[in-house]
Amino acid sequence: MKRLSLVVLAGVTVLAGDVAFAQSPNGLVGGSQFNPPLPPPPPPPRIEVPVVPKLDEPSRPVQQVAPRESFSDRIIRCLDEAAAAGLGPADRAAYSRACANR
């Protein structure tokens, strides 16, 4: 009895599946202006082998750009430069603003 019910259930499932696909003439993907085909997949990423340093090759020195000093350090330096140039207080303020923003 159990085998018979499984066979009947499998047959109904197959028939129901055929009916569902029979309703759509195009299948599941593409075929009409409202359901265009899927775009092609993107190309795979390029895989590059990293350069492995050799044991007997001298290492190259790492060159890094010196970090920029902080804004307060630049203001202090510019005020010192303005005072050394003999500028007055109003001229020092204008000079330090222009100098620190360079």
pLDDT in tens, 13-57: 666 555 554 455 545 555 677 888 889 999 999 999 998 888 888
* Domain interval for residue 102: 69-102
Rounded CA separation 89/38 (Å) = 70
Our count of domains for the chain comes to 1
Rounded CA separation 88/62 (Å) = 44
Closest CA to 92 of 79, 75, 101: 79
31-48 as b/e: b if 16+ CB within 10 A: eeeeeeeeeeeeeeeeee
Please state, rounded to an integer, the average pLDDT across all residues of the chain: 80
